[in-house]
Amino acid sequence: MLNNNSKVVNNYLSPDNPLFWSRPTPLNCNTVRPIGMCLCLAAFIGIILNGALVYSFARYKFLRTPPNIFIMFISVIGLVTSCSTIPLAGSSSIYCYWLFNRGGCQFEGVMASLYGCSSSYLLCAVSLSRCYIIVRPFHAKAITVPKCIIIASVAITVAFILTMMPILGWNEYTLEGALTSCCINWYDRRLSFVSYNFFLFAFVYCLPLIILITTNTRIYLGLKEMRNKLAQGVKTELSQKRIEMEGRILKSIIMTVLGFVITWTPYAIVFFIAVFRVPDAAVPPMATFICACFAKSSVMWIPMLYISTSTYFRLSFVDMNCMDKQGPMSSASTGTYNPYALPRKNEGAQTISVIQASKEKRCSTINKQ
């Protein structure tokens, strides 16, 4: 294990030289190593949480609702990233130099960028779908599971194309300032590099952030207006139970979005400063390293926040057997469960009542004994 990082290394080595990819970190190993251990821990927790979500979506059909489809895709990509990408940066940080040569760097850069881009677009998709239902409630049946799958697939395809551009020559993937993880090249001032960086900042962070803020604000104001009308005795497009259900969905979406924004915003700020800095200024390598690691930890925070705020997933950990019984009930007659379409009754509330009744029955039996 490399302990001495004061060794002077030629920073002008060509990427074609194998020594370029095994340079020791310029930072203090006693600081880098614990952060690498935290990254490995985040990868482990991400595997458990994202795996739990993917398992729940795969096993319980009634969980595969239109808004949850987008979360399912985020969970799948998060699970792949937790298994394949974050351990590379974590183990390299523990050893204080990049362990996986050029091919590993490109793979790590592509997967990390793919997770960030696809999460951004998928969260926009789920927010837009809920906003559409609030703005046009009588067209809620238009938001179906197959359409959400197509939209999610298109979003991931666009994200994949964007992340492959550096491999094809528009920018490149290289080592970050700490030399223990990889990202796109922030440092080259040539037009092809700067243009890609600007495009990425504008269309992967800024534009989705504007969409997320606008749509969720519109949903919140729409639900608030409907609640005020109901309080005044005025009939609204949605029932009281439906408004409460949409409020719970909004809370879950907002918490998930906050998890993404909070973890990726510091990285985006450092990225912006590094790309558009004056020639003589430079972002400290420790700042880029910490922000990059915090952004990678979103594979843990996003599913954690979603599980903690989603009624369905909280109940799934309370009583799996009731969910197994409710699944066939939910898919009766049509074979497709969509508790968010207006013409249907609130089957989600029925799920909650069935599980709560089961719990109360068990508790009363125990008390009698």
The confidence score (pLDDT) of residue 313 equals: 63
Tokens of 226: 């409907």
> Which of 12-16, 20-24, 325-329 ranks highest by mean pLDDT?
20-24
Select the more confidently predicted residue: 51 or 331.
Answer: 51
Helices (H), ranges, 169-206: 191-200
Q: What gap in Å lies between CA 25 and CA 131, rounded to an integer?
A: 46
CATH of domain 18-322+335-361: 1.20.1070.10
Residue 83 has pLDDT above 70, yes or no: yes
| Secondary structure (DSSP) of 126-149 | HHHHHHHHHHSGGGGGG--HHHHH
The confidence score (pLDDT) of residue 234 equals: 66
The confidence score (pLDDT) of residue 111 equals: 94
Average of pLDDT values for 112-127? 92
Average of pLDDT values for 248-270? 85
Its sign, for the CA torsion 263, 269, 275, 281, is negative
Coil, helix or strand for 234?
coil
Residue 123 has pLDDT above 80, yes or no: yes
**Domain extent listing, the chain:** 18-322+335-361
Percent of the chain exceeding pLDDT 70 equals 77
Confidence of residue 362 (pLDDT cuts 50, 70, 90): very low
Select the more confidently predicted residue: 367 or 218.
Answer: 218
The confidence score (pLDDT) of residue 280 equals: 59
Residue with tokens 């907002």: 254
Confidence of residue 353 (pLDDT cuts 50, 70, 90): low
Confidence of residue 245 (pLDDT cuts 50, 70, 90): confident
The confidence score (pLDDT) of residue 338 equals: 43
Residue 156 has pLDDT above 60, yes or no: yes
Average of pLDDT values for 70-82? 94
The confidence score (pLDDT) of residue 131 equals: 84
Confidence of residue 238 (pLDDT cuts 50, 70, 90): low
* pLDDT tens for each residue of 8-19: 334 568 888 888
The confidence score (pLDDT) of residue 258 equals: 85
* pLDDT tens for each residue of 23-52: 999 999 999 999 999 999 999 999 999 999
Tokens of 202: 């504008």
Average of pLDDT values for 160-176? 93
Average of pLDDT values for 283-300? 89
Confidence of residue 279 (pLDDT cuts 50, 70, 90): low
Question: How far, CA to CA in Å, does 46 sit from each of 122, 159, 191, 302?
Answer: 18, 21, 37, 9
The confidence score (pLDDT) of residue 189 equals: 83
E strand map for the chain: 173-175, 182-184
Confidence of residue 186 (pLDDT cuts 50, 70, 90): confident
Percent of the chain exceeding pLDDT 90 equals 40
Query: Quick check: 36 and 91 in contact, CB under 8 A?
Result: yes
Lowest-pLDDT range of 65-79, 81-95, 233-247, 306-320: 306-320
Select the more confidently predicted residue: 91 or 218.
Answer: 91
Residue 110 has pLDDT above 70, yes or no: yes
Question: How far, CA to CA in Å, does 225 sit from each of 126, 130, 220?
Answer: 21, 16, 9
Query: Quick check: 154 and 99 in contact, CB under 8 A?
Result: no
Average of pLDDT values for 285-312? 85
Helix (H) or strand (E) holding 152: helix 145-168
The confidence score (pLDDT) of residue 331 equals: 40
Radius of gyration of the chain (CA): 24
